Amino acid sequence: MLNEQRILQHLRPRRYVRLDVFEVLDSTNRYLMEQVHRGAPDWTVAIADRQTAGQGRQGRSWESPPNVGLWFSVLRRGASLSGNVHLWNVWVAVTLAEALERWMYREMGRALPIRLKWPNDLWVHDRKLGGMLLQGSFTGGAQDYLVIGIGLNVNQQREDFSPAIRPLAVSLRMATQRLWDRERLFAHLLNTLFEESRTFPEAAGGSLISAYWDRLMYKEEMVQIRIHNKTWPARIVGLTDEGLLMVERPDGEKTVIASGEVAHLRGGAHAAGH
């Protein structure tokens, strides 16, 4: 079970964050979306030691067993929500990747490169380490609120993953051969998200897109695009300023992709969320 007091000991923006810690929830995203209608403030954060109905992208479930991972969601609302949800997705992915790399280097004295699989997965050693699910409400084109759901595999062993995702899943423990303090790591990630959010989206600009592109998997390579159960080959050629994926079809036509799945043609099966 996660220890709330230990998290708070390491959490710098304590006065600005409402932290709700649970032993079990069906979904931290669902919980926060309910809390919005009960007046929950900006920077309400929910974390559960276990989720019984964790949500992944494309309606998939997300495996969230107890004692091994970080399953949490962050509520953002108010004037800070200027900007589009795709750019938020890019910002969260880059911020988490950079925060994890800094943490690993500080704790181990060596790098653990984090790569990004479009649109919102964190990968290490060609396996999925974590992912995000952003959900929100819009009125007249403006965002009313945004819930940022994050799942990170921390201390699982290979056998802790179900057979369906075992070939593609990895944890920090598997990648580094050591156990990790989940409370300290969670506080570090939340500290970083809070601090970096002060200059987003005003200071995002091209540097954010470049940072995402630098970590992006399969860039300039042939991939299989899957949208609404239709698949077709294309080459990843760039990102728009809004964080959308730009691909080139075999006939040379360029297309901008806002949602869907990407799989490397060499790799075969597409990487299902968990």
- 140: pLDDT confidence band, cut at 50, 70 and 90? low
Q: Which of 193, 213, 233 is the last residue of a domain?
A: 213
Q: Are residues 163 and 74 in the same domain?
A: yes
- 63: pLDDT confidence band, cut at 50, 70 and 90? confident
For 184, counting Cβ atoms within 10 Å of its Cβ (0-12 exposed, 13-18 middle, 19+ buried), the class is middle
Q: Are residues 114 and 249 in the same domain?
A: no
Q: Are residues 227 and 153 in the same domain?
A: no
Q: Are residues 115 and 249 in the same domain?
A: no
Q: What is the pLDDT of residue 129?
A: 97
Residue 40 located in a structural domain: yes
Residue 270 located in a structural domain: no
Q: Are residues 21 and 101 in the same domain?
A: yes
Q: Are residues 28 and 133 in the same domain?
A: yes
pLDDT at 112 over 90: yes
Q: What is the pLDDT of residue 272?
A: 33
pLDDT at 3 over 70: yes
Residue 178 located in a structural domain: yes
Q: Are residues 13 and 113 in the same domain?
A: yes
At residue 147's C-alpha, the angle toward residues 223 and 189, to 5°, is 80
Residue type, 71: W
Residue type, 116: L
Q: What is the pLDDT of residue 270?
A: 36
> By the 8 A CB rule, do 147 and 245 touch?
no
pLDDT at 59 over 80: no
> By the 8 A CB rule, do 89 and 134 touch?
yes
Which residue range is the domain that position 249 belongs to? Answer: 218-264
Q: Are residues 242 and 209 in the same domain?
A: no
Whole-number Å distance between alpha carbons of 246 and 254: 7
Q: Are residues 239 and 137 in the same domain?
A: no
Mean pLDDT of 151-160: 96
Q: What is the pLDDT of residue 57?
A: 54
Question: 0.85 exceeded by the pTM?
Answer: yes
Q: Are residues 131 and 234 in the same domain?
A: no
User: Could you tell me the CATH number of the domain that includes residue 55?
Assistant: 3.30.930.10
Q: What is the pLDDT of residues 166-208, one digit of tens each?
A: 999 999 999 999 999 999 999 999 999 999 998 886 666 678 9
Which residues are bridge partners to 145 per DSSP? 77, 137
Q: What percent of the chain has a predicted confidence (pLDDT) above 70?
A: 88
Q: Are residues 54 and 178 in the same domain?
A: yes
pLDDT at 9 over 80: yes
pLDDT at 4 over 80: yes
How many domains does one find in the chain?
Answer: 2
Q: What is the pLDDT of residues 72-100, one digit of tens each?
A: 999 999 866 766 788 899 999 999 999 99
Q: What is the pLDDT of residue 222?
A: 95
Residue 269 located in a structural domain: no
Q: What is the pLDDT of residue 273?
A: 35
Mean pLDDT of 161-169: 94
User: Could you tell me the CATH number of the domain that includes residue 228?
Assistant: 2.30.30.100
Q: Give the count of beta carbons closer than 10 Å to the beta carbon of residue 122.
A: 23
Mean pLDDT of 212-238: 95
Q: What is the pLDDT of residue 200?
A: 80
For 183, counting Cβ atoms within 10 Å of its Cβ (0-12 exposed, 13-18 middle, 19+ buried), the class is buried
Q: What percent of the chain has a predicted confidence (pLDDT) above 90?
A: 76
Biggest CA pair distance of the chain: 58
